[in-house]
Amino acid sequence: MPPVIVNRGRGPEIAGTRITVYDIMDYYKQGWHHTAIAAWLRLSSAEVQAAIRYIEEHKVEVTANYEKILERCARGNPPQLQAKLDAISAQARARFAEIRRQKLAGGTHEGNSGGH
């Protein structure tokens, strides 16, 4: 069965995967060969070629949407969301540091009896 491009609401993607034509376009625009893209994304060459055909056949629409995606990524997260993400990251770093301090203070690693 040949690869099919479907749109399940996230944009056109290779059926049976979560890889969109925009994911393929990132590499295609950089001049990657379809077999290299396939290997990198763990797809078949036929799936990548189907995505490239779709890109070429819908070039105006795909390029316009791709540019919007790049612009949105360049803007980053809204300030409120970024503040939440930063707080979560700080909490995770603090927790990791605490676990590390506890392990260093204990002097031995769990599960390792030190040969005793």
Residue pointed to by tokens 């925009």: 22
At 109 the pLDDT is 54
At 7 the pLDDT is 92
- Measured between alpha carbons, how far is 47 from 4 in angstroms, rounded to an integer? 8
More confident residue, 112 or 50: 50
**Helix %, strand %, coil % of the chain (to 5):** 65, 5, 30
At residue 108, φ and ψ (nearest 5 deg) are -130, 160
Model confidence over 22-80: pLDDT tens digits? Answer: 999 999 999 999 999 999 999 999 999 999 999 999 999 999 999 998 998 888 888 89
Q: Indicate the helix (H) or strand (E) that contains 73.
A: helix 59-75
The CATH T-level fold of domain 5-75 is Arc Repressor Mutant, subunit A (1.10.10)
- Measured between alpha carbons, how far is 80 from 85 in angstroms, rounded to an integer? 9
Q: Of the given ranges (12-16, 65-69, 102-106, 108-112), which has the lowest mean pLDDT?
A: 108-112
| pTM (predicted TM-score) | 0.66
